[in-house]
Amino acid sequence: MREVAVIARMWHGMTRRERADAYSEFLRDRAIPDYQSVPGNLCVNILRREDGERTHFITLTFWESMESIEKFAGVPVDRAKYYDEDKEFLLEFEPSVMHWEVVGKSEGPRSND
Q: Is residue 2 part of a domain?
A: no
Q: Is residue 109 part of a domain?
A: no
- CA–CA dist 48, 113 (Å, integer): 36
Confidence of residue 8 (pLDDT cuts 50, 70, 90): very high
Domain, as residue range, for 39: 7-101
Neighbours of 77 (CB within 10 A): 20
Q: Check residue 14 and give its pLDDT.
A: 98
Tell if the pTM clears 0.85, that is, is over it: yes
Q: Check residue 105 and give its pLDDT.
A: 78
* Mean pLDDT for all residues in the chain: 93
Count how many domains the chain has: 1
pLDDT tens, residue by residue, 32-86: 999 999 999 999 999 999 999 999 999 999 999 999 999 999 999 999 999 999 9
- CA–CA dist 27, 45 (Å, integer): 10
